[in-house]
Amino acid sequence: AIQEDERAKMQQEKEMFLEQALADERRRLHAQAEDERVKLDQILSESVDKEKRLAEEVIKQRNKSVAMSEEMHRLKHKYADDQTKTKLQLQDMLHGLQTQWLYEKNHLDEKFVEAMRLLTKAHADIVYLTKKNDALERQLYDLHEQQHRVKNGQH
């Protein structure tokens, strides 16, 4: 929040500076254009049609120059705004990716713990069932031996 306030303050100061510079440049250019216009009016009143057309073209070019200067300022301002917006978007995206990564990591950690618990339980079950199976096989063998002795004892 402090960084954003500082950025906003710096952006506002930058905008004020650029607007002041543009206003000063406009005043200078308008004063210069007005001075040129007055001079050209004097020349035009004394010159022929050819000179008049040339002077009008100079004024036209000066106005184009002022318009281009204003457009350049506008584009610089837009570029700076776009850079700021892009930086903020990238920061937001990075934060989102970090949050998602941490969520997925925690989820995988939980799955790993559960898998280890299940594997440990399965191992214990296998050990238990192996012992139980061995005991049952011994009982079956003993029972089979006992039946065999009983059969042999009757014949």
Q: Work out the average pLDDT over 132-149.
A: 93
List, in order, residues 6 or more apart from 32 with CB less than 8 Å away: 62
Residue 83 backbone dihedrals phi, psi, to 5 degrees: -60, -45
What pLDDT does residue 48 have?
63
Domain segments of the chain as ranges:
2-154
| pLDDT tens-digit series, residues 75-129 | 999 999 999 999 999 999 999 999 999 999 999 999 999 999 999 999 999 999 9
Residue 111 CB neighbour total at 10 angstroms:
10
Rg of the chain over CA atoms, in angstroms?
46
Cα gap 37→55, rounded to integer Å: 9
Local structure of 117: helix, strand or coil = helix
What pLDDT does residue 154 have?
62
**pTM of structure:** 0.40
